[in-house]
Amino acid sequence: MLSVVIKRVVGAIPTLFVIITLTFLMMRLTPGGPFDTGRVASPEVQANLLHAYHLDEPLYLQYFRYLKDLAQGDFGPSFTSKDFTVTQLIRQGFPVSLQLGLSAMALAIVVGLALGTFGALRRNQVADHVVIAFSLVGIIIPNFVMAPILTLIFGVTLQWLPAGGWGNGHQLAYKILPVIALALPRISSIARLSRSSMIEAMQMPFIRTAYAKGLPRRLVLLRHASRAAILPVVSYLGPATAGIITGSIIVEQVFSIPGIGRYFVDAAINRDYTLVSGVVIFYGCIIVLFNLIVDILYGVLDPRIGRR
């Protein structure tokens, strides 16, 4: 197991290197620089600004400077949040995205699995159709429609919950709507996945064997069917969790939540080279990590895959 982990981590290094290089180049090839604000009263002022951030150096020097800083764990200063370093911004934003994402994922797994299993056991009955319809709606209605609708109903009209913001970071009320908005599409996906895999699992010979042994239905479901049915869900969970905890761009924008998802958009629009690179590299690391976790979980859950 340890050797697998080491192999995967070492294997991720070239991937990350490619990500770093591509991000670096693509940002700099985009027209417009971080300090092009439309106001260039004096070319000297502009020159001083570029010099202060080493942007007047040849591209290869900038690249090597960036790699060198990166090797020391320094993502550099942010060009648009000038009072903070990229590391400070990620350290500040990631716990928020993580909390929001894990809460949403936990909600999605519990509700999604329950719905999926419920639908599978009542296959082709009315309840099943309701589950399918619900998950279709969840997938079809995008976040940028669902989030403002939730805000309008519960924040503006009923005023039960805040319409946006993050309060002081410890207030439950601010988190309910964003967590629901973020969880809804995942609930749908998990419900659909678990429904179809549960239907498939229920037709497996070992389930018939379990019933033949006289096991009660509850135990057959929980001990045998669920174990086979959960595998596709687990492989979905890895990238989905990585995606959700590194910040939902839309949900964070709509609810004005200070997570790192918002930095993606703002930094790219503002050509904040260091912040974009920092967030992308961080995102890359998280994806590699979660794919690794999924692989390990797979080995634990499915004896057929075994410990290669």
Rule CB under 8 A: say whether 46 interacts with another protein. Answer: yes
Range 96-155, binding another protein (CB under 8 A) = 99, 102-103, 106-107, 109-110, 113, 148, 151-152, 155
Beta bridge partners of 200: none
Give helix 273-301 / helix 59-71 axis angle, nearest 10°: 50
Q: Work out whether 222 is an interface residue with another protein (CB under 8 A).
A: yes
Binding to another protein, residues 268-297 (CB under 8 A): 269-271
Enter the tokens of residue 299. 């080995």
Q: Which is nearer to another protein, 230 or 281 (CB)?
A: 230
Return the residue of 189, 231, 262, 281 that touches another protein, per CB under 8 A: 262
Contact 274, 62 (CB under 8 A): no
Chosen residue from 12, 76, 81, 115 binding another protein by CB under 8 A:
81
CB of 63 to another protein, least distance (A): 21
48 binds another protein (CB under 8 A): yes
Could you give the CA distance from residue 171 to residue 107 in angstroms, rounded to a whole number?
18
Q: How far is the CB of 118 from another protein (least distance, A)?
A: 13
From residue 300, alpha-carbon distances to 119, 295, 296, 297 in Å are 27, 9, 6, 5
Is 62 a residue that touches another protein (CB under 8 A)?
no
How many chain residues bind another protein (CB under 8 A)?
78
Task: State which amino acid sits at residue 190.
Answer: I
CA dist., res. 91 & res. 168, Å (int): 16
Q: How far apart are CA 33 and CA 47, in angstroms?
A: 12
The reply to whether 77 sits near another protein by the rule CB under 8 A is yes
Sign of the CA dihedral running 286, 288, 289, 293: positive
Apex 180 CA angle, 179 and 181, nearest 5: 95
* Residue of the chain from 24, 94, 166, 290 that contacts another protein (CB under 8 A): 166
Answer yes or no whether residue 51 interacts with another protein by CB under 8 A: yes
Angle (deg, nearest 10), helices 86-121 and 126-140: 160
Instruction: Candidates 2, 3, 10, 39: give the one binding another protein (CB under 8 A).
Output: 39
- Any contact of residue 21 with another protein (CB under 8 A)? no
Does position 183 interact with another protein (CB under 8 A)? The reply is no
Residue 129 CB, shortest distance to another protein, in Å, is: 24
Q: Which is nearer to another protein, 1 or 137 (CB)?
A: 1
